[in-house]
Amino acid sequence: MSKEKVNYVDIDWKPDKSLKVPLYSQIVRYFSRKIEKGDWISGQFIPPQRKLAEIFDVNRSTVWEAMQELAALGLTEGNYGKGTMIVNDTWEMLIAGSTLNWQSYIDKGNFHANVDYVRQINQLEYEKDIIRLGTGEPSPKLAPKEAISRILKEEMDGSPELNYPPPLGLPELRQALCQYLEREKDIRVQPSNILITSGALQALQLISVCIVPPNSTAFIESPSYIKSLNVFQSAGTVLESIPMDDEGMMPWIISRHFDVGRTILYTIPTFQNPTGNVMSPERRDEILRYCRSNRIPIIEDDVMGDLWMDERPPKPIKANDDRGSVIYIGSCSKSFSPGLRIGWVVGPESVIQRLADIKMQQDYGTSTLPQEIFAHCLRTGVYEEHLTGMRRELKRRRDLALKVLQEHFADIARWNTPSGSYYIWLQLKGNVSIRRIFEAALAEKILINPGEMYDIRENYSLRISYVYEDDEVLERSLIRLSEIIKSVMKAT
């Protein structure tokens, strides 16, 4: 069978790098004019992004940004494997008389678009041959595939629950979580205090929708994972970053000018994302006392808490919460399996019931099969057995990454030695262009997470992950990244 011929448009133009106009804007303008003039018509294809980057002599991130803009204008549409197809042209507009402007609706929607870097990374992570040097996902080789396969084939006896789950989630999973949280975290709650969610991200969105009033303030660490999302901002919440020292967030820096009932504090005290810091027990107690005295609810994110390597971290803030001041978020996405999409929220019954009501309106419950699998893993010790091996492998990979950093980054950066999780927070020496480093690395298929994603202030750091790529790729790509950084520093 002959391969289908793709009707690509002819391109005989390049953006002018001497102009102050951004390169992606020049590309959007060129494409728009060709379509408006009728030179290109519906059904024709724009070449794949890799080819466009060669034609225009630009980074693929620039092409990606231009393609996103053209799609938002309603002129193009992605077609997997072929490129981007023109779906609207001048002649169609004339015949139709008018065209629905979807972008005007999109712009007025409540939920904000993701941070620019995050949108790019989300798309590029799954491109062929890309090296994921900043990803928040473990290597597929670390997934408990054999254990889950055995559970599905043998332990569940071929009779999984396939109906809708109860609003709070499967009772057996919530009961198993109660036992695990008491045993491992010193958190004592009842199943009625737990809501099962589709990962920790859904937990955050539910909280932002039904607990945080519009025009509220959320105190967050600087830098913070939550800054890389628009969950709170889409609910009308203003983020106010609070600096950290070696012990964690410094609550005494919080402004005294805040509205009681319109303020929350979001923190990741254990293996803080992106820095990897661990908040001291004394600072955890201090934050709890401060928030109690000022009637500020605490949202405690503990999705990395099980991934300790050297020693068990301090107890969560929630463990000392005897007044219902803390809403605690956990997940098995980082520690067990991202694909199961199992997270949980622990809080007062009144809060949990309200969150469950909103969740039922959104998706009518988290899928039952993943809940059954994870409940079984908690009850039978499979989860803890997996964690033992996971911690051992994380430590080995971390030590390899630290060795490479010491040999190749000592003169250009400072970094922490993480005692858990996936990341090394690499702080570059000097005010170097992170965007140029990002694009130069991407040109060589190395995808990194810039510190600017996580901070309101200027940030000259990179979040390096040592948990996804194999040893040889990790070592080689880190060495190449050091060369790229040095080259950009020299040119600055």
The string of pLDDT tens digits covering residues 307-345 is 999 899 999 999 999 999 999 999 999 999 999 999 999
pTM greater than 0.85 = no
Question: What confidence score (pLDDT) does residue 81 get?
Answer: 57
CA distance 400 to 380: 33
d(CA 181, CA 413): 38
Structure tokens at 145: 């595939």
Q: Point out the residues of the chain with pLDDT beneath 70.
A: 1-6, 79-83, 89-108, 113-115, 155-158, 256-257
Q: What is the pLDDT of residues 238-252, one digit of tens each?
A: 899 999 999 999 998
Measuring CA to CA, which residue among 121, 34, 113, 124 is closest to residue 70?
34
Instruction: Give the alpha-carbon dihedral of 408, 412, 417, 421, to 10 degrees.
Output: -90
Instruction: Compute the C-alpha angle 42/44/45, nearest 5°.
Output: 130
Q: Which of 18, 34, 32, 99 is nearest to 69 (CA)?
A: 32
Class of domain 117-142+389-491: alpha beta
Joined tokens for residue 80:
């997997």
The pLDDT value recorded for residue 100 is 56
Look at the domain 145-384 and name its fold: Aspartate Aminotransferase; domain 2 (3.40.640)
In the chain, where the domains are located: 23-109, 117-142+389-491, 145-384
The correct CATH number of 23-109 out of 1.10.10.10, 3.40.140.10, 3.30.450.20, 3.40.50.200 is: 1.10.10.10
The values of phi and psi at residue 316, to 5°, are: -60, 160
Among 264, 268, 258, 254, CA closest to 296: 264
343-346, strands of its sheet edge to edge: 194-197, 343-346, 326-331, 298-301, 263-267, 217-222, 238-245, 248-249
pLDDT at site 250: 94
